[in-house]
């Protein structure tokens, strides 16, 4: 009985996976559409920076929601979506980075380095981006195998640090209306807090693997 349910979940999630793939691409698609139809503000760099940054961060947080969701709902198969969400997050953050590095600063290294040194939010953002690179590189099945599950899992704990840096990066550059970054901080605190709480629970029943 339980086995069939599990298999059913696998089928269901595999079926919705392409839908999630398309959904995750919509913000990028809309941005490109808006740029080409001129439906963009007078400062398109700001639009590009905001859309790519916000969606990157949302997806990072979403990947962190998968494990708690699995454990709470018992639908282990949700893990089938996590890699795609993570790689999509990286995709948006790469665009975010390139907007800043190329479109805004056009490889002006002196200005870029000054920016990183003088502004914490840029330093935090740059560190978070750098931490994402090894995670993206090791996201393939081959790399997981080569690293071995344990080392892979250890490396991917970087997500905890980079997600905090990402939220700080967002919070620090907001001028007045902190609503959105505070909401993200609260969600992130809940997701990370859940893990801390879980790790302190005496291992009961079957321990869930993450």
Partner 1 sequence: MILIKQKPDIASSEITPQNVYLNRRKFMQTTAALAIGGSVPFMTLANRQAYAMGTKFENLIKSPYSATDAELTSYEDVTSYNNFYEFGTDKRSPAKEAHRLTTRPWSLSVSGECEAPKDWDIEDILKQFPAEERIYRHRCVEAWSMVVPWVGFSLGDFLKFHKPTSKAKYIEMLTLVRPEEMIGQKPGLFGSVLNWPYREGLRIDEAMNPLAIFAIGLYGEHMPNQNGAPIRLVVPWKYGFKGVKSIVSVRFTEEQPFNTWQEQAPHEYGFYANVNPNVDHPRWSQASERVVGKLFGRVPTLMFNGYADQVASLYSGMDLSVNF
Q: Nearer Cβ to partner 1, position 60 or 115? A: 115
Q: Spell out a b/e string for 129-157, using b for 16 or more CB atoms within 10 Å of the CB, else e.
A: bebbeebbebbeeeebeeeeeeebeebbe
CA distances from 43 to 39, 50, 95 (A): 11, 11, 17
Closer Cβ to partner 1, 110 or 199, answer by number = 110
CB of 128 to partner 1, least distance (A): 17
Interacting residues of 47 by C-beta distance below 8 A, sequence separation 6+: 31, 34, 40, 41
The residue among 80, 200, 91, 71 whose CA lies nearest residue 141 is: 80
- Of 22 and 102, nearer to partner 1 (C-beta) is 102
Is 34 near partner 1 (CB under 8 A)?
no
Binding of partner 1 at residue 176 (CB under 8 A)? Answer: yes
**DSSP label of 42:** S
d(CA 24, CA 28): 8
Closest among 45, 121, 124, 54 to 89, alpha carbons compared: 54
| Residues 88, 52 contacting (CB under 8 angstroms) | no
Q: Which residues in the 108-167 window bind partner 1 by CB under 8 A? A: 108, 111, 114-115, 118-119, 121
Stretch that binds partner 1, among 26-34, 132-140, 175-183, 201-209 (CB under 8 A): 175-183
Taking CB under 8 A as the criterion, the residue among 45, 130, 133, 190 binding partner 1 is: 45
Give the one residue of 3, 19, 43, 150 binding partner 1; rule: CB under 8 A: 43
* CB nearer to partner 1: pick between 12 and 111: 111
Q: Which is nearer to partner 1, 23 or 189 (CB)?
A: 189
Q: Which residues bind partner 1 (CB under 8 A)?
A: 41-46, 103-106, 108, 111, 114-115, 118-119, 121, 172-173, 175-179, 182
């Amino acid at each position: 009985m339980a086995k069939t349910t599990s298999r059913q979940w696998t089928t269901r999630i595999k079926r919705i996976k392409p839908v999630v793939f398309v959904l995750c691409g919509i913000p990028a698609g809309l941005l490109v559409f808006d740029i080409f139809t001129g439906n963009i503000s007078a400062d398109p760099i700001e639009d590009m920076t905001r859309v790519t940054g916000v969606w990157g961060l949302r997806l990072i947080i979403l990947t962190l929601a998968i494990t708690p969701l699995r454990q709470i709902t018992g639908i282990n198969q949700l893990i089938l979506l996590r890699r795609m969400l993570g790689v999509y997050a990286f995709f948006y953050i790469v665009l975010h980075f390139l907007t800043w590095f190329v479109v805004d600063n056009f490889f002006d290294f002196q200005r870029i380095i000054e920016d990183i040194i003088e502004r914490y939010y840029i330093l935090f953002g740059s560190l978070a981006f750098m931490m994402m690179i090894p995670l993206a590189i090791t996201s393939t099945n081959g790399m997981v195998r080569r690293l071995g599950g344990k080392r892979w899992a250890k490396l991917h704990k970087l997500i905890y640090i980079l997600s905090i840096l990402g939220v700080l990066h967002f919070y620090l550059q907001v001028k007045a209306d902190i609503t959105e970054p505070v909401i993200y901080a609260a969600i992130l605190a809940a997701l990370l807090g859940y893990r801390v709480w879980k790790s302190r629970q005496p291992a009961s029943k079957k321990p869930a693997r993450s």
